[in-house]
Amino acid sequence: MDRYEQNLSLDNSTMIEELCINCQLTIAILSPSCKPLTTYPKAREFEGGMRDAIIGHCNLHESGMILDEILAENIILPKPDETGVTKSFLVGLDMASLRRNHDN
């Protein structure tokens, strides 16, 4: 009996659990003060946005989440805070997946 035939003999919930990754849909509504990284002309804002995106990607990876790709349109910059610092964040994580054994 090959693997496909074994899967057919399993009940539906077991097969779905084995073949699919549980996904959760989350919608974030951004205020108009947030813009994609590509719309900021200042080099300093671009540099800071890229730095924050890299840090965010590393944090996601350490928590077991894998992103297929990072697009410039998925790096969002809000308005600077009261000290003038702008912190970017990643959006578009809908195609991200969790590693099964991320502790290894």
What does pTM read for this prediction? 0.55
Question: Cβ(38)–Cβ(73) under 8 Å?
Answer: yes
Please report, in angstroms and rounded to a whole number, the separation of the first and last CA atoms in the chain. Answer: 31
pLDDT at 17 over 70: no
Please write the tens of the pLDDT for every residue from 2-15.
444 444 444 455 55
> pLDDT digit string (tens) for 25-65?
666 665 656 777 777 667 877 788 888 888 888 888 888 87
Domain boundaries, the chain: 30-98
How does pLDDT run across 68-95, given as a tens digit for each residue?
777 777 788 877 778 877 778 777 766 6
Beta strands in the chain (DSSP E): 35-36, 65-66, 75-77, 89-90, 97-98
Distance of alpha carbon 77 from alpha carbon 79, whole angstroms:
7
The per-residue pLDDT for 10 is 47
Strand 75-77 to 97-98 pairing? unpaired
Tell me what pLDDT residue 2 has.
46
Give residue 66's identity as a one-letter amino acid code.
I
